[in-house]
Structure 1
Amino acid sequence: MAVRLDELAVPVIAAPMAGGASTPELVAAVNRAGGLGFLAAGYRSAPAMAEQIALVRKSSDRPYGVNLFVPSPPGDRAAVAAYRERLQPEAERWGVTLPEESGQPDRDDWEAKLAVLLADPVPVVSYTFGLPTAEEASALRAAGTLQVGTVTTPEEARAAQAVGMDALCVQGPEAGGHRGTHRVADVPGEVPLLRLLPAVREVTGLPLVAAGGLGDGAAVAAALRAGAVAVQLGTALLRSDESGASAAHRAALTELPETTVTRAFTGRPARGLRNAFIDRHGPYAPPAYPEVHHLTAPLRAAATRREDTEAMHLWAGTAHHLARSGPAEAIVTDLWRSAQG
């Protein structure tokens, strides 16, 4: 089970994309290319995570990873309630009901997922939105699992090393989807990935994985030269045959011109294709996650059903226009060949 990120046959890791884009088929395809496939356990129950792990094991005998969302402290209930009032007319327009706050913190089945991963270990586990406790990290290390902390600043890198991470995923501001800031209210940094990598290298000797806006061979090569042992690709794989992204999302990657970072859909800063929903509501969304995620879920589901790209959450990195269709194995192989010059 032992795996080293600096010894991958092809130094490409599939970004874990929660919400359905990452699939067991995508994991297997990236593995076939010589890279490291990743499952996204965020928003899934522990049993659902275990089911996906079982599917990966049936389709691939190579190492793979599982990504966990670290629970966040409760958000400001009054601010969430105010945002609900703002969204109410939109909900009425589309005939959906916005959920009332439950009052119970959503920990994304954290404890149950850790129990599954300790009872039946996987090769690699990565963390987004924070870090496990030192005790949790120690338990997984004893189980033989390599652990990767997602960081967006040198300060977060220090914390990840202190808690016992084996490697770091350095996420630049160019990345699509949620920024991996360790605190919900933090304003994400804007230091470009190619400058962030050496800044993180100054504070840690851990292996670094580069993530954010890596859409072609030249960008992959530049990230490796900047000190990464591997690159993590998300948006570049969204249009692949094995991706679980919707047809509307796939099309929007080539049709909508720009991305922006917003809290409008989930309460956490995330980069997506700019649309009318973001323009209307982004400035008013509170830093409350996952409360805002649950609040907007019915609106997002309704927008997806009607394929309304002006109201959907369409996560995408800055190189989204380079994403191409076809088998993921071929996409990874071609990108790596291009990176080698």
Structure 2
Amino acid sequence: MSTCRGRGGQAGSRIPPESVMSQSPALHQRLGIALPILQAPMAGAQGSALAIAVARAGGLGALPCAMLSPEAMAEEFAAFRAATPAPLNVNFFCHVPPEPDPAAQARWHAALAPFFAEFGLDIDAVPEGPGRRPFDRETCDALEPLRPEVVSFHFGLPEAALLERVKAWGATVLASATTVAEAEWLEARGADAVIVQGLEAGGHRGMFLDGEVTTQVGTFALLPQVREAIGLPLIAAGGIADARGVAAARALGADGVQVGTALLCCPEATISAIHRRALQSEAARHTALTNLYSGRPARGIVTRLMRELGPMAEVAPAFPLATAAIAPLRTAAEASGSGDFSPLWAGQNASRCREVSAAEVIESLAAGL
């Protein structure tokens, strides 16, 4: 067992996890929710409607804000507040914006040129733009008057001064870790709880200390290792789609679970009909990590783009610069009913992704608590 340094433990001590956790309220009590079940924030796949439905069912609803303007964020927040007094998790990215690299962008455009020609599109007309902004001072300024109860981060944590501001209004800070080292890093820098994201999880990997995908392991291998290493509350994410997965995560040391893919086919989600069909088809059995849609590894159903360029391609520019050139291809293909160029985000276990209400999904998961 590695040393435990969280929640009062001293370096070199060997406090069992149960003793560490007993020093603080249960996770769901700390978050102000009835059930220790969190909805994964899924940018581009949901808005306030899904967060509201999960909150009303007793879980923690989430708003993905990395792609929202301050005005849009405030509107979604207001819609949530008008519907329920429940706590809300707002989620942001903490990536470092890349420096412009015209040569890398030219290589990317060259790789995509045959696809553009197929649809009669002009690749030289693709606008440049990052598409996603990290959590910065301007974002914090817009968020502070809203005072959400929970703020979560992907790709690490913001700079210390911004994190202090978030915690100053009483927000609980969650952050994703994909390795033991990342979990220890988050604990040392002020996270209140860690989302342990296994390799099974759909969407973007939260990896931030190392870009090597071979460091990534499954939820049920990673969870007990992190439980031994740190003393913070842990939230298991990746591959959890039913009560059995919840029970397994709890048995391995999770204080709560975070679920995304199982909610994607709910009527409250906003994914396309193409994405819904793919999730409920045999195609959902084959997912892979890919950097083609954004520039960072993310898990989705294998598409034509992933097959022809390779799911992890060196030619893809740094996150989030890959996004702009993919957008016209996606629009053109989807107009003809094809998801060949769409980011069909999904975890490895889409078996419970059904067209039922979010409340029914949360109720079924709660049976495993």
Does the pair score TM above 0.5? yes
The 2-side partners of 1:183 and 1:301 are apart by: 34
> Which residue of 1 is the match for residue 79 of structure 2?
55
Deviations 1:151-208 (A, max 9, x none): 1111111221122111111100000011111158442633211121121122211111
CA separation of 1:185/1:192 partners in 2, compared to 1, >3 Å: closer, same or farther? closer
Paired residue total: 336
Task: Check 1:306–1:5 CA distance in 2 against 1; reply closer, same or farther (3 A cut).
Answer: farther
Question: Which of 67, 88, 92 is the aligned partner of 1:43?
Answer: 67
Would you say the 8 A contact 1:156–1:182 is kept in 2? yes
Q: CA–CA distance in 2 between the matches of 1:200 and 1:108?
A: 26
Aligned counterparts of 1:109 and 1:97: Cα–Cα separation in 2? 33
> Does the aligned pair in 1 maintain the 2:93–2:153 contact within 8 Å?
yes
Q: Note the 1:194-205 alignment, pairs <5 A.
A: 194-205=220-231
Deviation of 1:331 (Å): 1.3
The aligned residue for residue 235 of structure 1 is: 261
**Aligned-partner Cα distance in 1 for 2:136–2:109:** 26
Residue 204 (structure 2) aligns with: 178
For residues 18-72 of structure 1, the C-alpha deviation after alignment (integer angstroms, 9 at most, x for no partner) is 01x1221111111111110000002111111111111100111111110001132
What CA distance in whole angstroms lies between the structure 2 residues aligned with 1:104 and 1:313? Answer: 17
Q: Which is higher, the Rg of structure 1 or of structure 2? A: 2
The match for 1:324 among 333, 336, 354 is 354
C-alpha distance in 2 between matches for 1:271 and 1:232: 16
The offset of 1:75, in angstroms, is 5.7
Q: Distance in 2 between matches of 1:15 and 1:101?
A: 30
What's 1:268 paired with?
296
Give distance in 1, aligned partners of 2:157 and 2:88: 20
Residue of structure 2 aligned with 1:84, choices 109, 120, 138 = 109
Q: 1:283 to 1:222 in 2, by over 3 A?
A: closer
Q: Does 1:125 align with 2:147?
A: no
Match of 2:177 in 1: 151
Give the Å deviation of 1:218.
0.7
1:336 aligns with 2:361: no
Q: Give percent identity, aligned residues only.
A: 39
Closer, same or farther in 2 for the Cα pair 1:105/1:236, shift >3 Å? Answer: closer
From 321, 331, 337, give the equivalent of 1:301.
331
Report the CA distance between 1:236 and its aligned residue: 0.3
Aligned pair partner of 1:23 in 47, 52, 71? 47
Residue 211 of structure 1 corresponds to 237
- Tell me, yes or no, if the aligned pair for 1:184 and 1:289 is still in contact at 8 Å: no
For the 8 Å contact 1:45–1:108, the answer to whether it is kept is no
Which residue number corresponds to residue 13 of structure 1? 38
Equivalent pair of 2:179/2:216 in contact (CA under 8 Å)? no
Aligned to 2:187: 161
In the aligned structure 1, how far is the partner of 2:122 from the partner of 2:137? 30
Over 3 Å counting, the alpha-carbon distance change for 1:104 and 1:320 in structure 2 is closer
Counterpart CA distance in 1 for 2:359 and 2:259 is: 13
Residues in 2 aligned to 1:114 and 1:237: alpha-carbon distance in whole angstroms: 29
CA distance in 1, matches of 2:51, 2:341: 29
Q: Secondary structure at the match of 1:324?
A: coil
Matched, 1:96 2:121: yes
Tell me which amino acid in the other structure corresponds to 2:334: T
Q: Which residue does 2:305 correspond to in 1?
A: 277
Aligned equivalents of 1:33, 1:218: Cα separation in 2:
19
1: CA distance, partners of 2:365 / 2:333: 33
Three-state SS of the structure 2 residue aligned to 1:252 is helix
Name the CA shift for 1:188/1:52 in 2 (closer, same or farther; >3 Å). Answer: farther
1:65 partner letter:
N
- Between stretches 43-52 and 96-105, larger displacement belongs to 96-105
Deviation of residue 245 (structure 1)? 1.0
In the alignment, the residues of structure 2 paired with residue 320 and residue 76 of structure 1 have an alpha-carbon distance, to the nearest angstrom, of 37
Report the Cα offset of residue 102 of structure 1.
4.4
Which of 250, 261, 269 is the matching residue for 2:276? 250
SS in 2 for 1:88: helix
1:119 is paired with a residue whose SS is coil
Q: Whole-Å Cα distance in 1 between the matches of residues 132 and 364 of structure 2?
A: 40
The one-letter code matched in structure 2 to 1:262 is T
What letter matches 1:222 in structure 2? A
Contact persistence 1:237–1:328 (CA under 8 A): yes
Q: State the TM-score, normalized to the length of structure 1.
A: 0.92
Q: Comparing 263-272 with 291-300, which one deviates more in the overlay?
A: 291-300
CA contact (8 A) 1:137 1:163 kept: no
**Which sections of structure 1, spanning at least 5 residues, go unmatched?**
none
